[in-house]
Structure 1
Amino acid sequence: MSIKGKINKIIDLSVVDGPGNRTSIFLQGCNFNCFYCHNPETIRHCINCMDCISPCPTKSLTNENGIVKWNYKTCINCDECIRVCKHLSSPKIYNWTVEQTVERIKNNMPFIRGITVSGGECTLQYEFLIALFKEVKKLSLTCFVDTNGGICLKNLKQLVDLTDYFMLDIKAFDNDEHIFVTKKKVDIVLENADYLASIDKLFEIRTVTINGMDNKNTVDKITKMLSKYIKQGHKIRYKIIKYRKFGVREEFSKFIAPSEKELEELKSIAIKNGFEDVIIV
């Protein structure tokens, strides 16, 4: 039986999820609970509470033997089901085999250079990723992973070998601050950053910056930690991301982005520590 993945959505053509035009695949489920998450409906799996069925204006959600079934053909993507969900989930999930997913990817050729798998946290479904990447490689496409780094990647050697590059979110360097943002410790994330950089598979580090958090410490410590690999000739981009409230849960929408002056200071810190490719978005 073919392995199935729980897919939240697919963006067929994306230019912001790695180099070139790419098909971006967002898997359901996450081991973090970041307060500023822009797609909190990907955090948990549907518990089939049925609360989303009656609000659906096109009756695209039905109760089939206690399971919420989604008819994507009649769905108008109004997201009313997501708005009423109290469980940080979505009923709009593709339970697709590797073969079904590859067929969708093939529809986008020859307009893409590769695929990027994100989430949620995609490495939670590492068996699906391994099977998918094996097939995608046959199409001469590159495979990127967008991850929060919360799972020890040294234990997933087959996945790492199949992945061309990783894009790693580091929410904070300080452990207490990382717990504040994600509800999880930072140690595994930093271990993964060092590991991926050491094998030259770290394409990009990303940090969301928020006014009032110790952004300077985060950027300074991360870039100093990885500077030895930059000196060895490894190319690692640092993407400094301004906090934006769009998509964030209402109770966390009170936060604001740092000033433009602070963002430029953060960029200068990264450059001073040896990073050449530093961008603010």
Structure 2
Amino acid sequence: MKVKGYIHSFESFGTKDGPGIRFVLFLQGCPLRCLYCHNVDTWEIKDNKMIMTAQEVMNEILKVKGFIKTGGVTVSGGEPLMQPEFLMELFKLCRENGIQTALDTSGYIFSDKAKQVLELVDMVLLDIKHINPEKYKILTSVELDNTLKFAKYLNEINKPTWLRYVLVPGYSDDENDLHEWAKFTSQLKNVERVDVLPFHQMGQYKWEKVGKEYKLKDTPTPTRELVEKAEEIFRSYGLKLLDK
């Protein structure tokens, strides 16, 4: 029986979700409740816009195969690992068609099925949103522990990984925390790159649209100096950042 995927949307020419030009598939459903989420409309599985089989998604990917040959396919969300069977089918089809794959995840779902998905994907984009467990929970409403285990497991299996860190003034910009984050991640030998992503307000309208309170409406975008300070700390631990 073919597994159906609960899908929010897809983007044919993404350039920010892995190397090269990419087909980006956004799956529905997420167990996290990040204060700065810009895809708040992906949280509930029942709010999906489409239900498709992996082959139906593959048919959409193949329409742009010529354009994504230097990149590939990234599955994002939501949290894609809420739908592991669908991911396995899709990543197998991508392999059969010679298409590079990336999984964009919070690492919160660390299960045997998640490990099976990791066997089939070429690289992982992992968000480690904070290193302090209490502050992580304030930001996301879930525990940090699984994400750190997930990161260590990616290192164990030597899975190519890009790390992402959203810099939110007043929440994730404390210098001691940045040093601790860099200390932990610099031990992971599979990490190819770290991206510091400045917090922005572009998702606010979605919170209003779905009738949820947006607690960060008065939080500013970090200054260039603040971003550069975080990047400088990360580089001081040997982490590779994209030169801007």
Q: TM-score, normalised by structure 1?
A: 0.78
One-letter identity of the residue aligned with 1:183? S
SS of aligned partner of 2:8: strand
| Alignment check: 8 A CA contact 2:166 2:172 kept | no
One-letter identity of the residue aligned with 2:222? P
Q: Structure 2: any 5+ residue segments left out of the alignment?
A: 209-213
1:229 to partner: Cα distance:
3.5
5 Å-filtered alignment, 1:119-138, equals 119-138=77-96
Name the residue aligned to 2:26. 26
Name the residue aligned to 1:186. 144
Distance 1:9 1:255, change over 3 A: same
5 Å-filtered alignment, 1:1-281, equals 1-46=1-46, 90=47, 93-112=49-68, 113-152=71-110, 156-215=114-173, 216-230=175-189, 234-248=190-204, 249-250=207-208, 251-252=214-215, 253-278=217-242
Rounded Cα–Cα distance in structure 1 between residues aligned with 2:171 and 2:223: 12
SS of aligned partner of 1:11: strand
Q: Which moved more, 1:10-19 or 1:254-263?
A: 254-263
Q: Deviations over 1:192-224 (max 9, x none)?
A: 112213322242111111111242334322221
Q: Which moved more, 1:264-273 or 1:148-157?
A: 148-157
| Alignment check: 8 A CA contact 1:197 1:226 kept | no
Q: Deviations over 1:90-110 (max 9, x none)?
A: 46x110011111100110111
Q: Deviations over 1:132-178 (max 9, x none)?
A: 11111111011100001111156533211101110011111111111
| Alignment check: 8 A CA contact 2:79 2:106 kept | yes
Aligned-residue sequence identity (percent) comes to: 30
Rounded Cα–Cα distance in structure 1 between residues aligned with 2:146 and 2:64: 35
| Alignment check: 8 A CA contact 2:161 2:191 kept | yes
| Alignment check: 8 A CA contact 2:166 2:199 kept | yes
SS of aligned partner of 1:192: helix
Distance 1:154 1:212, change over 3 A: same
RMSD after superposition: 1.8
Rounded Cα–Cα distance in structure 1 between residues aligned with 2:85 and 2:112: 15
Q: TM-score, normalised by structure 2?
A: 0.89
Larger Rg: 1
Q: Deviations over 1:221-257 (max 9, x none)?
A: 2221132334xxx442111111101113353322112
Rounded Cα–Cα distance in structure 1 between residues aligned with 2:95 and 2:203: 33
